[in-house]
Amino acid sequence: MQSAIYQQTIRHIARVSGRGYWSGQPVTLTFRPTSVDTGIVFRRMDLPGQPTVCGLASNRIDMHLRTKLVSGAAEVEMVEHVMAALYGMQIDNCLVECDACEMPGLDGSAGAIAIALQQAGLETQTAPANILVLGDTMQVGDQQSSITAHPTDEMNLKLVYHLDYGPNSPIPSTTSMAVLSREEFLHHIAPARTFLSEQDANELQRLGIARHVTFRDLLVFGPNGPIDNALHFPDECSRHKLLDLLGDLALCGARIFGTITAYKSGHNLNGRMALQMLQQQTQLRKPTPLKLQATASYAA
């Protein structure tokens, strides 16, 4: 018989600092333990009243090349790597305090966040985890790009991503697969970095976006491969797509058991699948209202 799976939070406070890719604005994330059924909550420390937004697909709005959450005055964007790190490290409940809207870009991966959470340790809590066991096949997308969620007899999450930008793209076509565990995520998914073509990078900077970002801050592909950089894995680009997929699916608010196969999907399609999963969870408990003491009462 399958043993009960309990919710987890972090044991100690963790912090990660960096600059947003898009805005260039410095930001510090402070991860704090929270009580059962809180879920993942972002708190904007830089705004009046320190408003919060829950990490759920119902709060997601469409945005180009990144995932954004909005609830009232609270807005946070580029949350996919943070959500992936929390999910991959099996953390169900956590308060993420941030002092800017955009999450830190770091090296384009979730590696530093995953390591910080690992060092913070895990605290097993008293309530069963929210589990979504896929019972029927679900699909979003079309022949151009799609995500299919299949039921499985295994009590785990298997992710498959097929990356293909076509024969004329400098970005190689690869396929990555992972059966999710803390170790698998920490060592083989979290370190995979954001990527784009040299043409797209030049266009973004021409528009005044990400002017501070260099070829060392992420993977930029020219005709001969990464410019002034080297791959961490032969299939690093499709592994990064696994990272993004996981971070977006984490917005369903539950641990998923099943097989998810994605073909050329992006944040919009990932978010649509997460919303379907959230809506179909008849037994999913809604996050309890966040009741936390004033920030000054915490010992860092």
266 found inside a domain: yes
Across all residues in the chain, what is the average pLDDT? 90
Catalytic residue (choose from 81, 162, 240, 267): 267
81 found inside a domain: yes
Element (H, E) at 270: helix 267-279
- Domain tally, the chain: 1
The yes-or-no verdict on residue 25 having pLDDT over 70 is yes
- In total, the chain counts a number of residues equal to 300
296 found inside a domain: no
109 found inside a domain: yes
Q: How far apart are CA 254 and CA 90, in angstroms?
A: 10
Model confidence band, residue 211 (pLDDT cutoffs 50, 70, 90): confident
81 given a catalytic annotation? no
The yes-or-no verdict on residue 126 having pLDDT over 80 is yes
294 found inside a domain: no
The Cβ of residue 287 has, within 10 Å, a number of other Cβ atoms equal to 18
CB-facing half-sphere around the CA of 52: CA atoms within 13 A? 19
- What is the domain extent for residue 178? 6-288
| Sequence-separated contacts (24+) of 12-19 with Cβ below 8 Å | 12/119, 12/120, 12/121, 13/120, 13/298, 13/300, 14/116, 14/117, 14/119, 14/120, 15/116, 16/104, 16/106, 16/112, 16/113, 16/116, 17/104, 18/104, 18/105, 18/106, 18/112, 19/104, 19/105, 19/212
Model confidence band, residue 77 (pLDDT cutoffs 50, 70, 90): very high
300 found inside a domain: no
The yes-or-no verdict on residue 299 having pLDDT over 70 is no
Q: 65: left (phi > 0), else alpha (psi -120 to 50), else beta?
A: left
Spatial contact of 60 and 224, defined as CB atoms under 8 Å apart:
no
Q: How far apart are CA 157 and CA 223, in angstroms?
A: 36
Among 103, 118, 84, CA closest to 23: 103
The CATH number that applies at residue 150 is 3.30.230.20
Give the torsion sign (CA, 195, 196, 197, 198): negative
Q: What is the mean pLDDT of residues 146-174?
A: 94
Model confidence band, residue 283 (pLDDT cutoffs 50, 70, 90): very low
Element (H, E) at 113: helix 111-120
Q: How far apart are CA 26 and CA 32, in angstroms?
A: 20
H helices within 126-266, ranges in order? 182-184, 198-206, 236-249
1 found inside a domain: no
299 found inside a domain: no
The yes-or-no verdict on residue 281 having pLDDT over 80 is no
Among 120, 129, 126, 46, CA closest to 85: 120
Q: What is the mean pLDDT of residues 127-134?
A: 93
Q: For 162-172, how does the pLDDT look when each residue is reduced to its tens digit (9 = 90+)?
A: 999 999 899 99
